[in-house]
């Protein structure tokens, strides 16, 4: 049961990633990243890395008229994960499938990762992000992460630099207060989300 409590009025849910989710996660992964992780990386993370924690985001329910048989499987819209060692959470990945970006779902996933990390004892959140990925950097800044370093030519596909971003003291009352304020705004935004997808993008 993930640490983030999402109000019932918000039509999305976050669950721990399970083995049977990996194939669907891989479809999003291949679309989202120029250097996608291979499937075995997720298998290793889920089963061989005790410090790894991965979550998936889905619609809360599918609204249909009349009974549907078999009941539809709720599509995964995004996912993310982190490694916790010992009180530092290193966000290893986060992605929302392209058709569902720009609606607050990346923020919901990021918030779920932060809450999970805090519940497991994290006091610092850190990650690497492509220097050109301004969308992700904006999201991280919104949650208090600041650029603390640069790794030159970190990404092998185009020799792009990575920025290291982090925020310390996430257990502090100040940071908790900031999270609560952001959460309230996010719930209001997501409650008025548009129609919920019945199928994965590309599938009918
Ligand atoms: C990064 C990513 C997860 C963000 O998810 P998203 O659902 O599009 O983002 P949200 O709608 O939740 O927006 C959250 C914040 O991100 C930033 N953001 C989102 N879209 C943006 C845009 N088009 N331009 C600038 N900033 C943007 C804003 O800070 C936004 O907060 P705001 O709505 O209050 O302005 C998503 O774009 C993605 O999956 N990208 C591909 C994979 C990736 O780059 N992962 C990050 C690796 S480090």
The residue with greater pLDDT, 78 or 71, is: 78
Residue 192: the pLDDT is 82
| Best of 82, 92, 138, 192 for a ligand 1 pocket test (most atoms within 8 Å of beta carbon) | 138
| Greater pLDDT, 203 or 177 | 177
pLDDT at 203 over 50: no
Distance between CA atoms of residues 184 and 67, nearest Å:
34
Does residue 155 have an active-site annotation? Answer: no
CATH number of the domain encompassing residue 121: 3.40.630.30
Domain range for 33 is: 12-61+68-191
Query: Is there a domain that residue 117 lies in?
Result: yes
Asked, for residue 18, whether it belongs to a domain, the answer is: yes
pTM higher than 0.75: yes
Test site for ligand 1: of 25, 99, 106, 151, most ligand atoms within 8 A of the Cβ: 106
Cβ atoms of 118 and 170 within 8 Å: the answer is yes
For 61-76, letters b (16+ CB in 10 Å) and e give: ebeeeeeeeeeeebbb
Segment 47-64, tens digit of pLDDT: 999 999 999 999 987 566
pLDDT tens-digit map of 146-199? 999 999 999 999 999 999 999 999 999 999 999 999 999 999 999 986 656 555
Nearest CA to ligand 1 atom 31: 139
Number of domains observed in the structure of the chain: 1
């Amino acid at each position: 049961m993930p640490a983030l409590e999402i109000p019932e009025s918000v039509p999305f849910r976050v669950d721990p990633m399970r083995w049977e989710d990996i194939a669907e996660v891989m479809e999003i992964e291949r679309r989202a990243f120029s250097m996608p992780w291979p499937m075995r990386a997720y298998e290793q993370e889920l089963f061989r890395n005790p410090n790894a924690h991965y979550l998936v985001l889905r619609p809360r329910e599918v609204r249909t008229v009349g009974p549907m048989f078999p009941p539809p499987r709720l599509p995964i819209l995004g996912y993310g994960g982190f490694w916790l060692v010992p009180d530092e959470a290193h966000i290893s990945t986060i992605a929302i499938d392209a058709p569902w970006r720009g609606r607050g779902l990346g923020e919901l996933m990021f918030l779920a990762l932060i809450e999970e990390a805090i519940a497991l004892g994290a006091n610092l959140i850190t990650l690497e992000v492509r220097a050109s990925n301004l969308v992700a950097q904006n999201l991280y800044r919104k949650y208090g992460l600041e650029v603390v370093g640069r790794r030159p030519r970190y990404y092998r596909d185009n020799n792009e630099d990575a920025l290291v971003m982090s925020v310390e003291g996430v257990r502090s009352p100040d940071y908790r207060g900031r999270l609560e304020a952001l959460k309230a705004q996010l719930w209001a935004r997501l409650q008025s989300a548009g129609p919920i997808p019945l199928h994965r993008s590309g599938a009918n």
